[in-house]
Structure 1
Amino acid sequence: MSNLLLLFTCLFLGIVLQRINGFPKEAHLVLNSFIIYVCLPALTLLYTSEITFQYNQALPVLMPYILFVCSFLFFKLLAPVFKFDKSTTGALTITAGISSISFVGFPIFELLYGKEGLKMGILMSQAGSFVVCGTLGIMTATYYSSSEPSVKKILKNMFTFPPFLAFCVAVLFNFFDLHFSVFASDILQKIGSPFSVLALVSVGLQINFKRESFTQKPLLIGLFFKLFVAPLIIFLIYLILLDEKTWLGQMCIVGAGLGSMNTATIIAINHRLNPSLASLMVGIGIPLSLITTMIWYYFLNY
């Protein structure tokens, strides 16, 4: 549970730092750039190159893809109804469509499902949500941030996104059964290790808990999808349609209802997709998801 404590500590630290006179107002932009260009590529090379996939692991891997597609369709349909602009629609699609599997999910999966839950969580993160973030997330961010989106521009953004390039290299390593030496793995681990702390502090630097924030229609709708609709969709597909009444099926439902992924939020912010809304989706969504996922867990069991 130390990860959860660290999560709240980092968010709180970011909130405090933004109120200190003399602290750079644009510090989050520097942190975001360091995360994207240094930390994430290192972690992608380290973990994705070692993934081994088996048939019975398809459920946790596919869940993030299903979730993101549903998020895209959900907000695409609701945007004209609630008169959301492109910036708001893009921010909601990305933040509500990708769960924080690694930082929030890992301790929860281990707590609820033991070591096997943690192993499946790693697979769900590395082959699922992380790939979705670096591909579909970037494509969506480009689509909503550009006045004239094109396939060429979307592909250019994808293939100039450092974590995606690192993912391509890691896939080649995996395919040809190549491995990093112990020394190289240790270096990559140390380079990537500040990721979680820096990402959460960066989000905390952009959180503004004004009373009116809690009455924003886009935020309420985004949280409604993330915390209720998303796990309900996976529940209907996995437990009702596929009849997957196992702990693995339950874990996928819990994972779908976790708060928004930090990296997805950073991508939305860097593409100027309603930065304040994207930050609130993490800052408010993650604490609330700790409660709602427990409700889903006990509902599934009792």
Structure 2
Amino acid sequence: MSNLLLLFTCLLLGIILQRIKGFPKEAHLVLNAFIIYVCLPALTLLYTSEISFQPNQALPVLMPYILFISSFVFFKILAPLLNFDRSTTGALTITAGISSISFVGFPIFELLYGKEGLKMGVLMSQAGSFVVCGTLGLMTASYYSSSEPSIKKMLRSMFSFPPFLAFCIAVLLNISNYHFPVFAGEILQKIGSPFTILALVSVGLQINFKKESFTQKPLLVGLFFKLFIAPLIIYLIYLILLDEKTWLSEMCIVGAGLGSMNTATIIAINHRLNPALASLMVGVGIPLSLITTMIWYYFLN
């Protein structure tokens, strides 16, 4: 109960700070930058280097790939039926197909599943959703915007992202069986510890519901897939088809239903794929997903 109260308290704090005169309007950008360049690399180095890899850990890695492919097929079939143009279809495919595992998922995984949940979240993010975003996401954006995908550009984007670079280093450390000294581990832990609070406050600073947003058919269809169909697909595959009734499978279902990834939205906007719709998928989808993921969590338990 205290974890849920913390989650909503941080969100409420962000919403309140939005309305305080004199408080920087772009404060969330500063928080996001601090998280990306400081907190996430520290946590990634700490947890990934200590993970003892097991076969069932393929579940969180594979989930983002299954999710994106499902999104591509879903909107490819639905677009002609609903008369969505290529720009709208591309924006929905990318934003609905990639979850915000780092910014939204990490604090939720830690609150619901403890330190082990955060460790698996790092794996899901860096080996899963971020790779999907930098490869399949970019290729899909190029396909729908009729531009040529560049492998060089994709690789540059991936390896210039600090948490992914930290992930690669941590994997090498893990393979070489290197363990950080106790004092180094404590330093990394303290550097990364503000992450949960800062990420949730940042999300709260970006919450902006507008009545007219909920009259847009593409947005409603995109949110329906992201918040309900996506976790249902992972539920059917992991719990029913594979019969993996574990907390790790449940975490993957929760992760599939999280709001859209900010980086994926930026890719859609940069490729001129319905920028307004792409922005709404994040601005409306993330706060709504905090409610729907809690519903999924209690349903699964």
TM-score of the pair, normalised by structure 1: 0.80
Q: How does 1:26-41 map to 2 (within 5 A)?
A: 26-41=26-41
Tell me if structure 1 keeps the 8 A contact 2:61–2:124.
yes
Q: 1:179 aligns to what SS in structure 2?
A: coil
Tell me if structure 2 keeps the 8 A contact 1:138–1:154.
yes
Structure 2, unaligned runs of 5 or more: 270-274
Partner of 1:124: 120
Q: How does 1:159-198 map to 2 (within 5 A)?
A: 159-198=159-198
Structure 2: distance between partners of 1:164 and 1:106: 20
Aligned residues, how many?
A: 285
User: AA paired with 1:204?
Assistant: G
Q: CA deviation at 1:61?
A: 4.3
Cα gap change, 1:215 to 1:123, in 2 (>3 Å):
same
Cα gap change, 1:54 to 1:90, in 2 (>3 Å):
closer
Offset from partner CA, 1:74-111 (integer Å, 9 cap, x none): 3455456433164554333324899954322344447x
Q: CA deviation at 1:153?
A: 1.0
Q: 1:50 aligns to what SS in structure 2?
A: coil
Q: Which moved more, 1:76-85 or 1:132-141?
A: 76-85
Q: How does 1:67-78 map to 2 (within 5 A)?
A: 67-75=67-75, 77-78=77-78
Cα gap change, 1:108 to 1:208, in 2 (>3 Å):
same
Partner of 1:294: 298
Q: CA deviation at 1:292?
A: 3.7
Tell me if structure 1 keeps the 8 A contact 2:17–2:205.
yes
Structure 1: distance between partners of 2:110 and 2:125: 13
Q: How does 1:6-17 map to 2 (within 5 A)?
A: 6-17=6-17
Cα gap change, 1:232 to 1:90, in 2 (>3 Å):
closer
Q: How does 1:1-302 map to 2 (within 5 A)?
A: 1-75=1-75, 77-78=77-78, 81-83=83-85, 84=88, 86-87=90-91, 89-95=93-99, 100-109=104-113, 119=116, 121-122=117-118, 124-139=120-135, 142-143=138-139, 144=141, 148-242=148-242, 244=243, 246-247=245-246, 251=250, 254-256=253-255, 258-260=257-259, 264-265=261-262, 267-268=263-264, 271=267, 272=269, 274-295=278-299, 297=300
Partner of 2:272: none
Q: CA deviation at 1:66?
A: 2.1
Tell me if structure 2 keeps the 8 A contact 1:138–1:158.
yes
Q: Which moved more, 1:205-214 or 1:88-97?
A: 88-97
Q: 2:98 aligns to what SS in structure 1?
A: helix
Structure 1, unaligned runs of 5 or more: 111-117
Q: 1:284 aligns to what SS in structure 2?
A: helix
User: AA paired with 1:82?
Assistant: F
How much is the aligned-residue C-alpha RMSD, in angstroms?
3.1
Cα gap change, 1:106 to 1:8, in 2 (>3 Å):
same
